[in-house]
């Protein structure tokens, strides 16, 4: 069974609208819904915003028996246009720094890999789905931290290590972290709702968030249906 983590209600609602049926499987936080799409069963969790909420929700999905984890929703673009679907090959933290304690890379949690690689087979399926949908998409890297970044100063520290950085969010690396610990395949599908550092970033987010959520939901639906 596929487990999908949504940080916000609008992101979850965009996908529930595409499902054939749905039932609440857990009525306490985090809320978990069971649904079916094209014969594929999925458990959907509304995690709330941020890394700790995302990690907790992911653990709850695993307790429900999911065997695949997908982070779906919106993201801030890094030199990536609004409306672009980001399907990263790897994710990492931008708010972790243990570089004073050994050979750790900036963004690396001690004892963990420097970044978390998305499952290559799932990634290929998502890219195929995006191309079949005629969506504008990009791969590269996505970074996660507990801040709605409105300037690129912090991200500039990663330019040499991750020159393919395309987007930021507040959950995906934490979900990937738990997936890594549990040896489960992981994928990210995020659509850019705003561009980090743009003068209009806050208003862009408010204007494009729901449309971006729908685009991500549509790609997830195609991945699940095999279309």
Active-site hit among 169, 171, 194, 204: 194
Neighbour tally for 74: CB within 10 Å: 29
11: annotated active-site residue: yes
* Count of alpha carbons within 13 angstroms of residue 167, beta-carbon side: 34
For residue 178, the cross-strand partners are none
Active-site hit among 11, 119, 169, 171: 11
CA–CA dist 206, 183 (Å, integer): 36
From the list 167, 122, 146, the residue with the least C-alpha distance to 2 is 122
φ, ψ at 189 (rounded to 5°): -130, 105
64: annotated active-site residue: no
Residue 30: cis peptide before it, omega within 30 degrees of 0: yes
Catalytically annotated residues: 11, 194
């Amino acid at each position: 069974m596929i487990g999908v983590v949504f940080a916000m209600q609008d992101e979850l609602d965009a996908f529930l609208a595409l499902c054939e049926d749905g039932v609440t499987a857990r009525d306490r936080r985090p809320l978990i819904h069971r649904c079916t799409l094209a014969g594929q069963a999925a458990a959907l969790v509304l995690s709330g915003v941020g890394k700790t909420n995302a990690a907790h929700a992911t653990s709850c999905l695993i307790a429900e028996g999911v065997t695949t984890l997908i982070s779906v929703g919106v993201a801030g673009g890094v030199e990536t246009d609004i409306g672009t679907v980001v399907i990263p090959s790897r994710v990492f933290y931008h708010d972790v720094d243990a570089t004073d304690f050994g050979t750790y890379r900036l963004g690396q949690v001690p004892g963990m890999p420097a970044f978390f690689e998305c499952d290559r087979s799932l990634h290929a399926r998502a890219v195929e789905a995006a191309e079949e949908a005629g969506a504008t998409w990009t791969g590269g890297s996505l970074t996660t931290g507990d801040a709605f970044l409105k300037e690129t100063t912090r991200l500039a520290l990663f330019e040499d290590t991750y020159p393919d950085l395309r987007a930021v969010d507040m959950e995906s690396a934490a979900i990937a972290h738990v997936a890594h610990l549990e040896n489960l395949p992981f994928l990210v599908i995020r659509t850019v709702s705003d561009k980090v550092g743009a003068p209009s970033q806050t208003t862009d987010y408010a204007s494009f968030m729901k449309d971006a959520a729908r685009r991500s939901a549509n790609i997830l639906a195609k991945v699940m249906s095999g279309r």
